[in-house]
Amino acid sequence: MTDTPLLKLTGIVKQFPGCLANDHVDLTVMPGEIHALLGENGAGKSTLVKIIYGVLRPDEGEILWQGEAVSIANPNHARKLGIGMVFQHFSLFEALTVAENIALGLSDPKDREGLRERIVEISTNYGLPLDPDRAVHDLSVGERQRIEIVRCLLQSPKLLIMDEPTSVLTPQEVEKLFETLRRLASEGCSILYISHKLEEIRALCEKATIMRLGRVVAHCDPRESTARQLAELMIGTELKPPSAMRAGAIEGTPRLEVNRLTLVSDHQFGTSLREISFSVRGGEILGIGGIAGNGQTELMDALSGEVYAGKPQTILIDGVPAGHMGPSQRRSAGASFVPEERNGHGAVSAMTLSENAFLSGHIRHSLARLGLIDHGKTTAFAQEVIKVFDVRTVGPKAEARALSGGNLQKFVIGREVLQKPKVLVVSQPTWGVDAGAAAAIHQAIIELANEGTAVVLISQDLDEIFALCDNIAVIAGGRLSAPKPVSATSVSEIGILMGGISDPVGDSHAA
Amino acid sequence: MDFQYTSFILSVVIASTPLLLAATGELVAERAGVLNLGVEGMMLVGAIAAFAVAVTTGSSTLGILAGVGAGVLTSLIFALLTLSFLSNQVATGLALTIFGTGLSALIGKAYVGMVVARLPQIHIPGLSDIPFFGPVFFGQDVLVYVSFALVAAVYWFLFRTHAGLVLRAVGNSHDAAHAIGFPVIKIRYLAVMFGGGMSGLAGAYMAIAYNTSWSEGMTAGRGWIALALVVFATWRPFWLVVGAYLFGSIMYLSLYIQGFGVHIPSQFISALPYASTVVVLVAISRDRKRIRLNAPASLGKTFHAAG
């Protein structure tokens, strides 16, 4: 062991138009250390990491790599130094094979010799099984992440940067990933781990640097802090205890019923839904867990009416047969939807917040008069969403894409919640969202349920499901397991269901 | 009868070669994610440049080189506007075609009525004299062989070399390619310039091999058919050969049928190649799976590097 830090950043400044992303940031990573970088969205973590990886150049500041001053010109240069990075949104090419994708990340032609054999060797060595000849679009998210990790490992990195790596993994997969990371660290590779999942950071990391609004606000040993302390350092104020108090009583009659929903996916790599049945009563939150790509997208599309669900009786919204209805009619019937992808699906990126508020709110809030947009009412509605949900933005005239992920998500959820729907279907409401925003979103969902709305929460985050839901079901291979009360099940039981080990579909429920 | 077959095939080859050349260039540009709708314009500029130089110097070789060079220069206008100044690719491509049509007509005024020596057909003693097979396989002009060699070379480059893999990666996801550290803009410049050079070559072929004189708008929509061919081939080089020769045959047939005095209004027959383009494209689009597998996902999207 040496005392020379592997990486030492001093006084890093990065200015974007209208925003100081990094304000004199210092960071020290020692060899073989698993170091957490914590912060809300917009705290400047991604900017800092991009500077380390050579994607961005700092305006000011010094980077010492193994004690020597370096200027990292581009990612190729970073990789040559021994820095590898696994991106949050994978930098993979869907149309290409695993081996081709990995070859693209290797700048040195020598590294590409005998590549396929080495991929197999490294992936089995580290417990990350991969078939080099499969096309990426065929793979699950977990497998895609393996590609990125193997790509980094092939270059025997000294520093591995991981940006929110576990948001798409099952608990079992997370455990495996941690084993791999611990093993790498024991072999001397440092790991810079970015996450907002505080429990994971406490389980994995030995040091943490906490950022807020572009500055480093604290260093600590996460193993000796509570998740709550970490969260409060991160958001800078006291964290409101999540009022998981479910006050509202669950009603007797179902608000949303799905009867034997079978849907052949017309997407080439999609998952067909098979005989899905469930019902949600007013005041109930039903969680649907599962690994990405097991039919969640298709289920969401079928529930929201973007894809017709066949016979009218297949889906009942508040007792009204809705299987044949499109999204607007279902909204009129009292349902609201928040799809997984906020940019481009939940909101139109290039439109302003008030235009986006109009798009889904005009029916229930009658924001249009004689076919013309009522601008006054629309702006007022957008303003209300911004105010009630504490959306940090310059105002209703801001374009949706100018908002950070967490803020846009608060806006999209707020827009639906304020419509007081009888049924709310949300998918991945806190994906890539910081702790502060996630808490606000969870709060809103709980309050809505307390007021008697039936909520379906599709999520890959089991912590979220266990914290919020009354009942839980798992979707795997397009089939839904029988919903169970949260109190009657466990994370590991759900994890096994997520792996697709069959559980008889709830016939009793369908009846 | 034998003579008729031979001359039919020779005519089809001559009609198909410019389509194949232009489409091969466009395929590379599109694989890199750039949709250049200016093929027709670049072909015309290449045609007039090749014709002017060939007439002036009396050298077909210099004419061909001038055609390629003019195509590259024209494509650079497109590259500069779309890649450096981030203009919309579709609008810029259409403008480039209008620009190329006008510019070539302007320059071409001085050359109307002149005639150039046709690009000679090669002759290998013995081989070229074999009945039927000789002229078909060993008696074409040199650019016909070049066009096939280029298709093979492009296939080899795209699917067998690392540089080709990088180019396809850029076309598949420019953001991911940028994140890994590839110079997206530079790669696209090169791809667009290759496309321009190939269009210029196709234009040169029109001016000194297909025809031996200049007339305004002489490419007659072949640039558009070449664009359609890239989609027809679903971005796979060898399918371009099938497509180009299919359309070449239809184009030649439409002349042939008119010559026979079949009682169909000539307008219908002249429209045949274009109508069949539409029909084939509609038929291809039905197979969404094949398109999705091969289409460059970033095609036509403007790339703006953040930071």
Q: Please judge whether B180 and A268 are an interchain contact, meaning their C-beta atoms are less than 8 angstroms apart.
A: no
Residue A335 has pLDDT above 90, yes or no: yes
| Model confidence band, residue B307 (pLDDT cutoffs 50, 70, 90) | very low
In our burial notation (b when 16+ CB lie closer than 10 A, e otherwise), range A199-208 reads ebbbebbebb
Residue B54 lies in a domain: yes
Q: What is the pLDDT of residues A133-143, one digit of tens each?
A: 888 887 777 78
Quote the CA–CA distance of B296 and B279 in Å, as a whole number. Answer: 23
**Would you say the C-alpha torsion A491, A496, A500, A502 has a positive or negative sign?**
negative
- Lowest-pLDDT range, B41-50, B94-103, B119-128? B119-128
Average pLDDT, chain A: 85
Whole-number mean pLDDT of chain B?
90
Torsion angle (degrees, nearest 10) of CA A495, A498, A504, A510: 110
Q: Is the pLDDT of residue A309 over 90?
A: no
Q: Does A106 reach chain B within 8 Å, measured CB to CB?
A: no
Residue A167 pLDDT class (50, 70, 90 cuts): low
Please answer yes or no on whether B172 and A100 come within 8 Å at the CB atom: no
8 Å CB contact of B307 and A112: no
Q: CATH number of the domain at B206, please.
A: 1.10.3470
**B127: in domain:** no
- A263 beta partners: A273
Query: What pLDDT, on a 0 to 100 scale, did the predictor assign at position A505?
Result: 41
**Beta strands across the sheet bearing A254-263:** A273-281, A254-263, A315-317, A320-321
Q: Could you give the domains of chain A?
A: 7-235 (3.40.50.300), 254-510 (3.40.50.300)
Give the pLDDT score at A506. Answer: 39
Buried/exposed B155-187: b ≥16 CB within 10 Å, e otherwise:
bebbeeeeebbbbbbbbbbbbbbbbbbbbbbeb
Contact A107, A80 (CB under 8 A): yes
A481 or A170, greater pLDDT:
A481
Whether A97 and A136 have beta carbons less than 8 Å apart is answered as yes
What residues in chain B have their Cβ under 8 A from chain A's Cβ atoms? 162, 165-166, 168-169, 172-173, 175-182, 288-289, 292-294, 296-297, 307
Which tops the pLDDT comparison, B7 or A501? B7
Q: Helix, strand or coil for residue A347? A: strand
Give domain status of residue B130, yes or no.
no
Q: Is the pLDDT of residue A481 over 80?
A: yes
Task: Give ipTM to 2 decimals.
Answer: 0.80
Residue B297's Cβ-side half-sphere holds a number of Cα atoms within 13 Å equal to: 16
**Domain housing B26:** 2-115+140-294
Interface test with A, best of B180, B298, B304 (most A CBs within 10 A): B180
- Burial of A149 per CB tally in 10 Å (0-12, 13-18, 19+): buried
Among B47-61, B86-100, B262-276, the range scoring the smallest mean pLDDT is B262-276
Task: State the pTM of this model.
Answer: 0.73
Using a CB-CB distance cutoff of 8 angstroms, which residues of chain A are in contact with residue B176? 90-93
What distance in Å separates residue B28's CA from the closest CA in chain A?
16
Determine, yes or no, domain membership for B222.
Answer: yes
Q: Which residues is A479 bridged to in the sheet?
A: A476
Q: How confident is the model at residue B70 (pLDDT cuts 50, 70, 90)?
A: very high
**In this predicted model, what pLDDT tens digit does every residue of A197-234 receive, in sequence order?**
788 888 899 999 998 888 999 899 988 888 888 878 88
Query: For B170, which residue in chain A has the nearest alpha carbon?
Result: A93
Residue A507's pLDDT band (cuts 50, 70, 90): very low
How do residues A227-274 score in pLDDT, each as one tens digit? 888 878 887 766 555 555 666 677 778 999 999 999 887 765 678 899
Q: Counting Cβ atoms within 10 Å, is residue A68 exposed (0-12), middle (13-18) or buried (19+)? A: exposed
Tell me the per-residue pLDDT of A96-129, one tens digit each, with 9 for 90 and over.
Answer: 999 999 998 877 777 777 888 889 888 888 878 8
How many folded domains does chain B comprise? 1
- The winner for highest mean pLDDT among A366-370, B78-82, B133-137 is B78-82
More confident residue, A271 or B221: B221
pLDDT digits (tens, 9 = 90+) for B194-211: 999 999 999 999 999 999
Residues 6+ apart with CB under 8 A from A147: A90, A92, A98, A101, A102, A130, A136, A139
Q: Give the model's confidence band at B225: pLDDT under 50 very low, under 70 low, under 90 confident, else very high.
A: very high
Whether B179 is in a domain gets the answer yes
- Cα separations (Å) of B189 from A13, B32, B73, B164? 33, 9, 12, 14
Q: Which residue has the higher pLDDT, B258 or A287?
A: A287
Q: Are the Cβ atoms of A93 and B173 closer than 8 angstroms?
A: yes
Instruction: Give the percent of chain A with pLDDT over 90.
Output: 36
